[in-house]
Amino acid sequence: MRVLIETDPQAVALRAAALVEGLVRSKAGCVIGLAAGATPLALYAELTDRRRSLDFSRATVFGLDEYLGLDGAHPASCALTLRAHFIDKAGISPARTHLLDGMAQGDLAAYCAAYEERIRAAGGLDLQILGLGVNGHIGFNEPGCGLAGRTRLVGLRRSTRATNAPIFAPAPVPEAALTTGIGTILEARRIILLATGPSKADAVAKMVEGPVSALVPASALQLHPDAVVVLDEAAAAGLALARDYRDEAAICLERGGIAAI
């Protein structure tokens, strides 16, 4: 796991955008998994900024998760967030866009298995973009989940529902969701996780420096050979080895440039 500590949320977005840009320019037909939380939105704004002149027309994208019971037009749906903030602006065609359907009916296990098959048929994920929940979740893989899980139906923990309550107010937060599993996430060739703000500091410390545990699902990223965690100063405040992470990143940038990260 590579840890990059930037000064503020905008610097986090810029660093992450540089990493994604490197992939898109080297592999036009890349396959990217997209998270719909609040933190990655600044990254998506950077990637679709005209100054970067990035061509996503041959890229294929997969949504990370979706609330059960929400259609793709619901203002709080992951699908609408991804379309409005990235997919439509990037010009990615519907044929190359794969999003979990919160209104899926019938055999949800079969539906989720078919979603996994779509990822495999696309050649697997070159990159998975992630945010981090305050309770350590990634996607909707909540504390106590299995670390080898696949795309499936899950229940949302009270802590997640409380955090997301302002998005739905005055309506209640859905109690369930569809999510790609940690096993699915770990099969991505590269993972970039973004976390900003003091509310994420405890989860970041447990994810990076704590034991790998189902109680902190994001800690499973310690097992990935190419996971990059991009933090601002506030989110990194609880890291015991913050100075060492800065020194390591500086060495890699000096010796190998952005490609070394």
Domain borders along the chain are 2-260
The predicted model scores a pTM of 0.96
- Catalytic residue, chosen from 6, 137, 187, 224, is 137
Report the chain's mean pLDDT, rounded to a whole number: 96
Q: CA distances (Å), 92 to each of 96, 101, 103, 169, in order?
A: 7, 18, 23, 31
Tens of pLDDT along the chain (261 residues)?
999 999 999 999 999 999 999 999 999 999 999 999 899 999 999 999 989 999 999 999 999 999 999 999 999 999 999 999 999 999 999 999 999 999 999 999 999 999 999 999 999 999 999 999 999 999 999 999 999 999 999 999 999 999 999 999 999 999 999 999 999 999 999 999 999 999 999 999 999 999 999 999 999 999 999 999 999 999 999 999 999 999 999 999 888 888 888
Would you give the DSSP letter of residue 84?
I
Based on the residue annotation, tell me whether 6 is a catalytic residue of this protein. Answer: no
Tokens 């660093």 correspond to what residue?
15
Would you give the DSSP letter of residue 106?
S
- Catalytic residue, chosen from 65, 126, 187, 232, is 65
| Fold topology of 2-260 | Rossmann fold (3.40.50)
Give the Cα separation of 141 and 48 in Å (integer).
28
Look at residue 154 and give its three-state secondary structure: strand
Based on the residue annotation, tell me whether 135 is a catalytic residue of this protein. Answer: yes
Based on the residue annotation, tell me whether 65 is a catalytic residue of this protein. Answer: yes
**3-state percent helix, strand, coil for the chain, nearest multiple of 5:** 45, 20, 40
Would you give the DSSP letter of residue 101?
-
Based on the residue annotation, tell me whether 55 is a catalytic residue of this protein. Answer: no
Q: What distance lies between CA 126 and its chain's CA centroid? A: 13
Q: What is the tens place of the pLDDT at every residue in 161-203?
A: 999 999 999 999 999 999 999 999 999 999 999 999 999 999 9
Give the Cα separation of 133 and 128 in Å (integer).
16
Tokens 């100075």 correspond to what residue?
243
- Catalytic residue, chosen from 6, 142, 187, 232, is 142
- Catalytic residue, chosen from 74, 135, 224, 232, is 135
Per-residue pLDDT, 20: 97
